[in-house]
Amino acid sequence: MTPPRAAPCVLVTGGLGYIGSHTVVALAGHGYRVVVVDDLSNSSIDVLAPVEALCGTSVATYCGDVRDREFLATVLGRNPVACAVHFAGLKAVGDSVRMPLEYYDVNVNGTLTLARALEAAGVRRVVFSSSATVYGDPAVAPTPETHPLAPANPYGRSKRDAEELLADLCASDPRWGAISLRYFNPAGAHPSGTIGERPQGVPNNLVPYIAQVANGERPALRVFGDDYPTPDGTGVRDYVHVMDLASAHVAAVARMLSRPGNEVINLGSGRGYSVLEVIRAYEHANDVRVPYEIVPRRSGDVPRYLADATLAGQLLDWRATRGIDEMCRDAARFQRMHVQRAPRPARTPASSPNRALSPAS
Ligand code: NAD
Ligand code: UDP
């Protein structure tokens, strides 16, 4: 979908994170002016330089928290934002069980505060990062958007609540528009290898864990369970390349700018891979070995997630175009380019590039 002639300004919260950084690059590549807000709680200001290099332009970046309404008002006052893409949030299921208040605060209150700030600024368009986790353990796979929601943990419930908040807002005022995108399993990295997923500590997700094992940074992958009702007994997921996700956001922004109303759209490929299939794909794509051991199931895991992505094709003219091999190759390239680099101390907002604004300033 092509943007309107005079490309508008898009606010990207969490724009220095994994999916956000790829989306910033994709939006800039489509001619949008991008403004980033990120509190650096799960990213680094060091991501900005490669993002700007890929964009071929500077990206106005403000360091601060989406729960800080005054900070958001300042950012919105300084930039003619037409639409927000809201990535900023917490995403680890296990942490959400241990720290539910933090998850509801960042994911629900953060969305509420952003919506209030957008409303006050007259910006009534938002694209929201939701998750397949809202389905819980789906009874049907591929799973359509109409499937009942039954999230099984605080993370999933916080995403469902934020979706419902946006739906209620759209129902209350016909000027509002929201698209909640339910991602299945994002994987891969930008083909340049300069941006990708940088988990802090032990990776929770499969592909980053495999990438570290293949690189010799960890001894072996632990495969969580081989007794699921799937062809080889290991969990099946619908992996979607982060570059494809970024394109979907560009399409969602263009749609959002052309019409109000609330929509919910799955983003996946509709093709499932088991854990063992992903291991083999990674080995094959990168000519490496990935040692693994089978261990008991991880608590809270479901046997299978698979997207019915028909609606994304219909509404966004979007489909996943990159397969598992490309995800594995791109993830490996990013891993090789970032391994064993001594972690640089995070710069404080005050010492960040002059475009950065601390909430206090
Ligand atoms: P990420 O952690 O890499 O990116 C999130 C970014 O938001 C980070 O840069 C972080 O510093 C920032 N942030 C966090 N809390 C903030 C706050 N209060 N104020 C301002 N910035 C804040 O995560 P990601 O993988 O890029 O995910 C982006 C979004 O997509 C999240 O909302 C996540 O729940 C959702 N999602 C992710 C996945 C996945 O597997 N990666 C799957 C489904 C949904
Ligand atoms: N998985 C695994 N070992 C790991 C991480 C994940 O076996 O170290 C499995 C997990 O049980 C699931 C699949 O890989 O079947 C995808 O897990 P991930 O955490 O990446 O995504 P999610 O569970 O959120 O779908």
Buried b (16+ CB within 10 A) or exposed e, 214-248: bbeebeebbbbbbebebeebbbbbbbbbbbbbbbb
Distance in Å, CA 89 to ligand 1 centroid = 4
Residues in the chain: 361
Ligand 2 in reach of 275 Cβ (< 6 A): yes
- Listed in sequence order, the DSSP H helices in the chain are 18-29, 48-55, 69-78, 93-98, 100-103, 110-121, 154-172, 206-214, 242-258, 275-286, 310-316, 324-338
CA atoms within a 13 Å half-sphere pointing along the CA-CB vector of 209 = 16
* Helical axes 275-286 vs 206-214, angle rounded to 10°: 40
Q: Which residue's CA lies nearest to atom 13 of ligand 1?
A: 88
Looking at the CA of 93, which ligand is closest?
A: 2
> Which of these is catalytic: 32, 62, 155, 273?
155
Which atom of ligand 1 is nearest to 40's Cα?
Answer: 11
Burial class (CB in 10 A: 0-12, 13-18, 19+), 183: buried
Q: Which fold has domain 9-338?
A: Rossmann fold (3.40.50)
Helix (H, G, I), strand (E, B) or coil at 234: coil
Q: Which residue's CA lies nearest to atom 15 of ligand 2?
A: 235
Phi-psi category of residue 327: left, alpha or beta, with phi > 0 → left and psi -120 to 50 → alpha: alpha
Looking at the CA of 306, which ligand is closest?
A: 2
Which atom of ligand 1 is nearest to 16's Cα?
Answer: 9
Segments making up each domain of the chain, as ranges? 9-338
Contacts of 18 (CB under 8 A, 6+ apart): 186, 196, 197, 198, 242
Q: What is the reported pLDDT for 6?
A: 66
Q: How far is the C-alpha of 332 from the C-alpha of 9, rounded, in Å?
A: 33
Amino acid letter for position 114: L
Q: Which residue's CA lies nearest to atom 1 of ligand 1?
A: 17
Q: What is the reported pLDDT for 273?
A: 98
Distance in Å, CA 215 to ligand 2 centroid = 19
Q: What is the reported pLDDT for 299?
A: 86
Tokens of 267: 């983003």
Ligand 2 in reach of 183 Cβ (< 6 A): no
Looking at the CA of 14, which ligand is closest?
A: 1
Assess contact for 163 and 130: CB atoms under 8 A.
yes
Residue of 237, 277, 304 best suited for mutating to test ligand 2, as the one with most atoms within 8 Å of CB: 237
pLDDT, tens digit only, all 361 positions of the chain: 554 456 799 999 999 999 999 999 999 999 999 999 999 999 999 999 999 999 999 999 999 999 999 999 999 999 999 999 999 999 999 899 999 999 999 999 999 999 999 999 999 999 999 999 999 999 999 999 999 999 999 999 999 999 999 999 999 999 999 999 999 999 999 999 999 998 988 999 999 999 999 999 999 999 999 999 999 999 999 999 999 999 999 999 999 999 999 999 999 999 999 999 999 999 999 999 999 999 999 988 999 999 999 999 999 999 999 999 999 999 999 999 987 543 323 333 333 333 444 433 3
Residue of 21, 24, 72, 87 best suited for mutating to test ligand 1, as the one with most atoms within 8 Å of CB: 87
Ligand 1 in reach of 208 Cβ (< 6 A): no
Neighbours of 5 (CB within 10 A): 6
Ligand 1 in reach of 145 Cβ (< 6 A): no
Q: Is 155 a catalytic residue?
A: yes
Distance in Å, CA 38 to ligand 1 centroid = 10
Which atom of ligand 1 is nearest to 64's Cα?
Answer: 20
Assess contact for 203 and 209: CB atoms under 8 A.
yes
